[in-house]
Structure 1
Amino acid sequence: MSKKIKNIILAIILGITGIIIIVNIVYNKPHISVSEASPDITLVSQKLLNDFENNEFESNSKYLDKIIEVNGTISEINVSENKGIITLSDEGSMGGVICHLSPEEHTKIASLKKGQNIKIKGICTGYLMDVILVKCIIIN
């Protein structure tokens, strides 16, 4: 076998090994417990929404995959298949902050009302006309 073929085979083996290691690290990444973690950022829901509306690229680098604690007014409450979703927004606002509650928080939804001020903590996953927070817990 020529030296060139040996180098190609070695490069392929190293590449496959590298891919396997990266996939293993990402797959076995520990899950974040939002309830136990302290927030990376605390702000009002309208400020979070305005930041994304004004500069999505900068906001992604600032908020994406961070634990965010937001304070806002409930504009919508949805419950389906034991999953709760709370939307925080101000009157007249086109968008909002959509908070997908953790399964443990589902029981707390019954005591909430539209127009109520609430504090929620969750992980920001991005912006699609609304800011999305997942694994949310109700603080008060």
Structure 2
Amino acid sequence: MPYKKRYFLILLVMMTTGLISLIWLEYHRTPKKVTLTTETEIRVQAKDLLASFLTDEASANKKYVERIIEVQGIVKEITFFNNRYTVLLQGDGEYVCIMCDMEDDQQSQVEKLSVGDPIILKGICKGFLMDAILLNCVLVNQANE
């Protein structure tokens, strides 16, 4: 019986150490930085991206999530909250759009945008929660320049 107890305690300590290590690594993980020179993995139209998520979310998650994608679309709205800009790109419907959380260094470029402008943004796709979510976005091109 003492051997079983000893092995159980050793196993418990190893599992606890492993769990603490995983939590620490996840907490200190640095997010991907997106710049204009960062390689784009996928290029897609805003309406096509939204259609993918609306028709088969599981398949779209496998294809787009955690990848650096370029999205071409029309500016629906620009918001500024908590010192961060968010650009919403139009979808097919009134209620579905792509939320693009912009990088801090993009402030001057975002301030030049207007509702209705055709643009191309690059960012990391995080998934779909009523809208498609892109983080760390940079403005690649503005068609009216």
The AA in structure 2 aligned to 1:25 is L
Structure 1 unaligned segments of length 5 or more: list them: none
Counterparts of 1:75 and 1:16, CA distance in 2:
48
RMSD: 1.7
Residue in structure 1 matched with residue 102 of structure 2 by the alignment: 101
| Structure 2 CA distance for aligned equivalents of residues 47 and 124 of structure 1 | 14
User: How far is the alpha carbon of 1:40 from its aligned partner?
Assistant: 1.4
Deviation at 1:28, TM superposition (A): 3.5
Runs of 4+ aligned structure 1 residues displaced above 3 Å come to 90-94
In the aligned structure 1, how far is the partner of 2:82 from the partner of 2:21?
37
- Please name the residue that 1:55 is paired with: 56
For 2:107 and 2:123, locate their aligned partners in 1 and report how far apart those are by CA, in whole Å: 14
Amino acid at match of 1:48: L
Counterpart of 2:136 in 1: which secondary structure?
strand
Distance in 1 (alpha carbons) for counterparts of 2:29 and 2:38: 16
Q: Which residue of 2 aligns with 1:24?
A: 24
Question: Deviation string for 1:13-35 (max 9, x for gaps)?
Answer: 11012113322332343431110
Q: Deviations over 1:55-88 (max 9, x none)?
A: 1111111111111110001111112343111111
Unaligned regions of 5+ residues in structure 2, if any? none
Q: Does the C-alpha gap of structure 1 residues 112 and 26 become closer, same or farther in structure 2, counting only changes over 3 Å? A: same
Partner of 1:70: 71
- 2:130 aligned counterpart, secondary structure: coil
Deviation (angstroms), 1:93 = 4.4
The C-alpha deviation readout for 1:101-139, integer Å capped at 9, x for no partner, is: 111111212211111110001111111111010111111
Shift of 1:92: 4.2
What's the TM-score, normalizing by structure 2?
0.87
- Going from structure 1 to structure 2, the CA distance change for 1:21 and 1:90 (only over 3 Å counts) comes to closer
Question: Normalising by the residue count of structure 1, what TM-score does the alignment of the two structures yield?
Answer: 0.90
SS at match of 2:100: strand
Q: How many residues align?
A: 140
What's the % identity of the aligned pairs? 29
Change (3 A) 1:26 1:96: same
